Amino acid sequence: MLSSNAGLKYESQRLAVKYFIVAIVLFGAQLLFGLLAAIQFIYPDFLFNILDFSINRIVHINALVVWLLYGMIGAVYWLLPDETGIETVGIKIGTLGFYILTAAVAVVVLVYLLIQVGPGNEMTTWLITEGREYIEAPRWADIGIVVVVLVFLWNVYATAFKGKEITGIVAVLMADLLALAGLYLAGMFYTTNIAMDQFWWWWVIHLWVEATWEVFVAAVGGYMLIKTLNASRKVVEMWLWIEVAMMFGSGILGLGHHYFWIGTPEYWWEIGALFSALEPVPLIGLFVHVLYDWGKERGKGNDIKNTPAFAWLTVETFGNFLGAGIWGFMHTLPQINLYTHGTQWPAAHGHLSFFGAYVAILLGMAYMLAQGKYGLEKMKMTKAGWWAISLITGGVLLMSISLTLSAYTQTMIERGEFGATWEGYFIAQNATWFVQGMGWRLVSGLAVVAGYVLLVYDLLTIGKKQKA
């Protein structure tokens, strides 16, 4: 994936490759620090006062968010000239933005690792960390991210208006990226009222992830279906507009399932729970419809053009349904969330939903880039690729099941039996099933890391092997 750009005719797609290289590296960092945190759950003294659990957790979660953003931006730079028929406008400025963003990310990670404790004051907020879960980046980095994203938005809009046509995929991305960039601003200020601060914080966390990101993966997934299965653009874009209608509706109203305990009106309970459950539906509809149409035409020269990308897209579709849909609904209803809030239930849901909804599709897109770089008409799955997808997918699924086991133990002992007391918390932490769940979580993490190594190897070699 790294050594040849022979198949690329657009500078925009070369920039996309750079974004994906950094994304895959950060994906490895996410797994490494997640593995360290998993070890510390079982052996609390491991790296104590050297690399504490709180820092491992911060880097693990923030690396996830940042590498997904890198992958998303890279995916747009890849498909934009393909959809518009022209080189991306202002691509040199876009390339400069890439280097600025990458330098900022490197500095932020070093600060996290080197300055692990200190006072919580205004200077800390600007230079070290804002201390807000999932979006801990200091204020200077926030401003830098906004500048880079504004350049990215200009690239997209200027190219779309100058291109040969604005396709449905590009139109959806234009609306979605504007919302994605705008919503980040809600997390750049804070109030002294913790309930109000949490209210605005959830706008970033939820409306990013469960509205704008979901629409984004539908657009990219539609593009991948067109490229891998020769899917009908009319069918793909029809489902995209359904996705926009349902996701911006269900995503916004589904925000209410985070409002259970911060003082908002009780009608948000039912609204949030109901509409959250609808979020994975359009993507499954798109995938099944296209697959049905492809099945009818199979054998007429309509073969799969990129088997690894299609396999990861399949994982994404049904992983999204399981992780965001089934596992999310397990603890979303307020009557259940009363007992599961603050346990390992959200972690079980989060691991599978992020993997199913976003990680899998971007790994599939990485194979699309590998195919394009080497100018391959078709790309087949290798043994390394099969092992990679099996270990990563199986590992994440086992991880969510393990966390669910631990969460069930916490819920029954800590919440049900002891009424959410400190005594109940410590008893639950030492319960046999909880400890076993954490142990299996570590085993599953090792499987995912092994799959990651094979994934990197496959991406580095698959193009050369199949071209030869």
466 and 321, same structural domain?
A: yes
The set of residues, in sequence order, having a beta carbon less than 8 Å from that of 181 and lying 6+ positions away, is 146, 149, 150, 153
Q: Is 180 inside any structural domain? A: no
218 close to 243: Cβ distance less than 8 angstroms: yes
Question: Region 20-42: what's the mean pLDDT?
Answer: 97
What is the rounded distance in angstroms from the CA atom of residue 458 to the CA atom of residue 451? 10
What is the rounded distance in angstroms from the CA atom of residue 404 to the CA atom of residue 3? 42
126 and 20, same structural domain?
A: yes
Q: Is 447 inside any structural domain? A: yes
Q: Per-residue confidence at 302, pLDDT binned at 50, 70, 90? A: low
What is the domain count for the chain?
3
pLDDT the model gives residue 4: 56
Our separate counts of H helices and E strands in the chain read 19, 0
127 and 199, same structural domain?
A: no
Question: Region 325-340: what's the mean pLDDT?
Answer: 84
114 and 239, same structural domain?
A: no
Q: Is 309 inside any structural domain? A: yes
Q: Is 177 inside any structural domain? A: no
pLDDT 10s digits, 214-268: 889 889 999 999 999 888 899 888 888 887 877 666 767 877 777 777 777 888 8
Phi-psi domain of 177 (left: phi exceeds 0; alpha: psi -120 through 50; beta: other): alpha
Considering 261, 292, 323, which residue would you say is the last residue of a domain?
292
pTM: 0.93
pLDDT 10s digits, 60-86: 999 999 999 999 999 999 999 999 999
pLDDT at 299 > cutoff 60? no
286 and 153, same structural domain?
A: no
pLDDT the model gives residue 467: 75
The set of residues, in sequence order, having a beta carbon less than 8 Å from that of 55 and lying 6+ positions away, is 112, 113, 116
Q: Percentage of residues in the chain with pLDDT exceeding 90?
A: 57
pLDDT at 273 > cutoff 60? yes
More confident residue, 465 or 171: 171
Considering 267, 292, 317, which residue would you say is the last residue of a domain?
292
Residue 384 belongs to domain spanning = 304-468
212 and 102, same structural domain?
A: no
User: Radius of gyration (Cα) for the chain, nearest Å?
Assistant: 22
272 close to 207: Cβ distance less than 8 angstroms: no
372 and 287, same structural domain?
A: no
pLDDT the model gives residue 60: 96
**Nearest C-alpha neighbor of 227 from the set 165, 174, 169, 163:** 169
* Alpha-carbon distances, residue 85 vs 6, 8, 46, 162, 200 (angstroms): 19, 14, 54, 10, 39
pLDDT 10s digits, 45-62: 999 989 999 999 999 999
Q: Provide the CATH number for the domain around residue 451.
A: 1.20.210.10
Q: Is 318 inside any structural domain? A: yes
Look up residue 214 and give its two tokens. Answer: 């979901």
* Alpha-carbon distances, residue 408 vs 146, 319, 351, 353, 412 (angstroms): 40, 22, 16, 19, 6
Which of 14-23, 46-55, 184-193, 404-413 is least confident?
184-193
Q: Is 311 inside any structural domain? A: yes
Q: What is the end-to-end Cα distance of the chain in Å, rounded?
A: 14
257 close to 276: Cβ distance less than 8 angstroms: yes
326 and 466, same structural domain?
A: yes
Considering 101, 132, 166, which residue would you say is the last residue of a domain?
166
pLDDT at 442 > cutoff 80? yes
157 and 57, same structural domain?
A: yes
Question: Region 165-190: what's the mean pLDDT?
Answer: 87
379 and 468, same structural domain?
A: yes
Q: Is 158 inside any structural domain? A: yes
pLDDT at 5 > cutoff 80? no
452 and 406, same structural domain?
A: yes
* Alpha-carbon distances, residue 301 vs 226, 294, 295, 296 (angstroms): 15, 11, 12, 12
Q: Is 118 inside any structural domain? A: yes
pLDDT 10s digits, 393-429: 999 999 999 999 999 999 999 988 998 899 999 999 9
468 and 441, same structural domain?
A: yes
